[in-house]
Amino acid sequence: MTNDLLFTGGEVWLGPGRRSTALAVSAGRISAIGPDAEADGATTVVDLAGGLLLPAFSDGHCHPTQAGLEMFGPAIAGLTSVEAILAEVARYAAEHPELDWIVGGTYDPALVAGGSFHAAWLDEIVPDRPVLLKATDHHTIWCNSAALRLAGVDADTPDPDTGMIDRFEDGAPVGTLREPSAYLLVEQFAPEPSLETKAEALKLACQAQAAVGLTWMQDAWVEEGGHLPYLALVDRGELSIRSNLGWLLVPERWRDQLSVIVAQRAEVEAAGAPQLLTGNAVKFFADGVIESGTAEMLEPYDDSHHHGMPVWDPDELAAAVTAIDALGFQAHLHAIGDAAVKHSLDAIEQAIRTNPEWDRRPVITHVQIAEAADLQRFADLNVTAAMQTYWAQRDPLMEMLTAPRLGPERTDRQYQVATMVTLGVPLSIASDWPVSTNSPIEAITVAATRQTHDGLPEGGWMPEERLPLEEGLLAATAGGAYQGFTEGFRGRLEVGLSADLVWLDRDITTGEPIRAREAIVKGTWLDGVQTHQG
């Protein structure tokens, strides 16, 4: 028998401390590993050139359509000053006189004290048309006066229950709105991109995900109709990342949404590509983010008397999680503050107690801060922690917006990833892209070092919580496969499984962990078909 593909000339990673020298692929599946692979020969030989072959990665939480759409707007992501952002918005606005609105993302909220950006700054460059920019946290927008006027947001507009309008002393809006209930006051008037535009954005996003070595992702915010771009790409044979959709339920109308998500899941199943597209998760926002003071905390923030802002009443959250669990959906909860984590675990516990036993695999993502007893509950309840380990560093966001709100004791209790692994918590690696980089290798590098790009602080922040690099690889491969119910056909290198593979140009497990991020993705394969060439 001759194989289709043979990978040789480097290291084949079978798990922490386990290696081989060759891997063969036949008809989309791994057909042999080690000397057997080489003995049978192959039509195409890939010389790994001293690099590392791994199972392709999984992203446990991201927003691909949003990420793709942001590639179309003004290119403000990563800009390091307000002036640079304004210059780019001005350039884009001038280049697009046909647009009624200028919409884009994402700006770094840490560029301005308290993250409070002024409408007047945008007015100077675009006075006549509405401008709406999203912050990297995706919980905050910055807009100009034309947008505020069109939306009727002024000094007399009350703050919604679960959102905030930044104001001057006289009550007039500054131009920054926090949390969906507040920013939707403006965003609801922005034109909705067409289905074709969204499908095109999703296709670009899939290419970007393949370029960082992914073959599976959890879309963690799918609103009504948000599955249609996926169905369009499946139809055209252009969905190049396996995707699980997480339908967003909101407290105001979750009971009415149940029949909608059941129907949309059926539409996804009718596409008939169960290893490519599933609609099995339901997303809940238990709270907001610490940077905006909207994450729900057990104790008040250090800089105010607030405990933050639960999005759900705890009993309603438990009722909703129990209801979707009974319908065979996997719960996927955004929980950042320690109180939100507790309420999320309570909700999952109620679903487990109420409903018949099944393989439910609930997920809580972010888990920025949690009580020790609650970390243990993740293990006891078999809740996967989908962790944005890239955030476990003392970057400007942490220094300027997070640490002052948490105070020193809580600041040094964030992202206890190594503790979770020790406790036996199922762990996956997640990006929250486009909130931050989609690269799992970046996330694993930070997990292993807990240092900034400059290598600070020396020895790492909370060094006892560093996650050994190969444990990070395991979370990004087998851990993500388990989260997504795909471990039966991918996530490990084993004969008979799908050839979902990523080839790195170097062995990142042997050098300095901080240098792991220098690795280049030379190739990604899904079912043995190359989806990226580096």
Contacts of 221-226 spanning 24+ positions with Cβ under 8 A: 221/63, 221/66, 221/246, 221/248, 221/283, 222/246, 222/247, 222/248, 222/279, 222/283, 223/248, 224/257, 224/260, 224/264, 226/65
Q: Minimum CB separation from Zn ion for residue 335, in Å?
A: 12
Phi, psi (5° rounding) for residue 45? -105, 125
Q: Minimum CB separation from Zn ion for residue 180, in Å?
A: 12
Residue type at position 146? A
C-alpha–C-alpha distance, residues 202 and 240, integer Å: 10
Residue 395 or 432 having the CB closest to Zn ion: 432
Residue 432 or 465 having the CB closest to Zn ion: 432
Binding to Zn ion, residues 375-414 (CB under 5 A): none
Residue with CB nearest Zn ion?
Answer: 432
Residue 3 or 136 having the CB closest to Zn ion: 136
Give me the 105-144 binding string for Zn ion, x by CB under 5 A, dash otherwise.
----------------------------------------
Q: Minimum CB separation from Zn ion for residue 432, in Å?
A: 4
Neighbouring-strand partners of residue 366: 335
Q: Minimum CB separation from Zn ion for residue 366, in Å?
A: 8
Give me the 159-198 binding string for Zn ion, x by CB under 5 A, dash otherwise.
----------------------------------------
Residue 66 or 280 having the CB closest to Zn ion: 66
Query: DSSP E strands: which ranges in 170-286?
Result: 173-178, 214-222, 242-248, 277-285
Q: Minimum CB separation from Zn ion for residue 518, in Å?
A: 27
Q: Minimum CB separation from Zn ion for residue 61, in Å?
A: 6
Binding to Zn ion, residues 418-477 (CB under 5 A): 432
Residue 126 or 401 having the CB closest to Zn ion: 401
Cα→Cα distances 176→188, 292, 403, Å: 16, 11, 21
C-alpha–C-alpha distance, residues 440 and 346, integer Å: 30
Counting residues that bind Zn ion (by CB under 5 A) gives: 1
Binding to Zn ion, residues 303-332 (CB under 5 A): none
Neighbouring-strand partners of residue 216: 58, 242
Buried b (16+ CB within 10 A) or exposed e, 289-307: bbbbbbbbbbeebeeeeeb
CA 534 and chain centroid, separation: 23
Residue 179 or 432 having the CB closest to Zn ion: 432
How many Cβ atoms are within 10 Å of 442's Cβ, its own excluded?
18
Q: Is 70 in the site for Zn ion (CB under 5 A)?
A: no
8-state DSSP, 136: T
Q: Minimum CB separation from Zn ion for residue 220, in Å?
A: 5
Residue 122 or 317 having the CB closest to Zn ion: 317
Q: Minimum CB separation from Zn ion for residue 68, in Å?
A: 15
Query: Token pair for residue 170?
Result: 């006289």
Residue 70 or 432 having the CB closest to Zn ion: 432
The count of residues in the chain is: 534
Give the interface with Zn ion as residue ranges (CB under 5 A). 432
